[in-house]
Amino acid sequence: GQQLNQSPQSMFIQEGEDVSMNCTSSSIFNTWLWYKQDPGEGPVLLIALYKAGELTSNGRLTAQFGITRKDSFLNISASIPSDVGIYFCAGQPLMDSNYQLIWGAGTKLIIKP
Amino acid sequence: KAGVTQTPRYLIKTRGQQVTLSCSPISGHRSVSWYQQTPGQGLQFLFEYFSETQRNKGNFPGRFSGRQFSNSRSEMNVSTLELGDSALYLCASNPLAGSTGELFFGEGSRLTVL
């Protein structure tokens, strides 16, 4: 079946650092979504992207829909402690008439003490 | 408005037993999707219900089943539990069928199979 490769698997960062993570697919997607999951909670949508090349910001978060339509990137600027959690990318394949999302395995963000 | 509510939040079962999990979507949302989350595996899609009909199904064995009621509340059932079924089961609601756009997730039901 379809898979998304999300990297890195985990990141150890210091407060104030910028963070980058990405997702790649072997096939073309027409939607990319980025979710964040806090401990003990369900994922919450951060940013939705619907057009190739689209660059969208949500506060300190910026995400891009890759030009090839096979990848997406999420950047977090000036990280703060509440940024810790698991970030998931999700996408809808172009050729999927059921509009079902495919999910990455997640990037776990950890703040160095 | 109230979010997605899942019950129970935690449960422990033994192999061979069966379990039923419940999900109440956001008022007015007619689509309910279920996901299984295990560490390092991301979210694996189980099924989606819309207007009491199963609209999509993931690649899980027949031991996993679900249903949706006329008030959009949904239940999922896992029969003959196996150790590998231990996971966080997440329910998500959406005003429309299909997953494009924002899914609203509940806090999940954490199942431990001993």
Please give the share of chain A, as a percent, with pLDDT higher than 70.
95
Tell me the torsion sign for CA atoms A36, A42, A47, A49.
positive
> How close, in Å, is residue B97 to chain A by CA atoms?
9
Closest CA to A44 of B107, B23, B76: B107
Taking CA atoms, what residue in B is nearest to A49? Answer: B101
pLDDT of residue B1: 57
pLDDT of residue B39: 80
Interchain proximity A43–B43, CB inside 8 Å: yes
pLDDT band at A2 (very low <50, low <70, confident <90, very high): low
pLDDT of residue A100: 76
CB B83 within 8 A of CB B113: yes
Burial of B66 by CB count in 10 Å (0-12 exposed, 13-18 middle, 19+ buried)?
buried
* pLDDT tens readout for residues B8-57: 999 999 999 999 999 999 999 999 999 999 987 788 999 999 999 998 89
List B residues 73-102 in contact with A (Cβ-Cβ < 8 A).
90, 92, 97-102
Given phi > 0 = left and psi -120 to 50 = alpha, else beta, which region is A96?
beta
Torsion of CA A21, A3, B33, B106, to 10 degrees: -30
What is the amino acid identity at position B29? H
Q: What is the b/e burial string over B90-113, where b = at least 16 CB atoms within 10 angstroms of the residue's CB?
A: bbbbbeebbbbbebbbbbbbbbeb
pLDDT band at B100 (very low <50, low <70, confident <90, very high): low
**Rounded to whole angstroms, how far apart are CA atoms B52 and B31?**
9
- Is some CB atom of chain B closer than 8 A to the CB atom of A94? no
B84: pLDDT strictly greater than 70:
yes
* pLDDT tens readout for residues A86-99: 999 999 888 766 66
Q: Which residues in chain A are contacts of B107 at CB distance < 8 A?
A: 40-42
Q: Is B83 helix (H, G, I), strand (E, B) or coil?
A: helix
B67: pLDDT strictly greater than 80:
yes
Identify the residue among A100, A102, A107 best suited for mutation to test binding to B, counting B beta carbons within 10 A and taking the highest: A100
A4: pLDDT strictly greater than 60:
yes
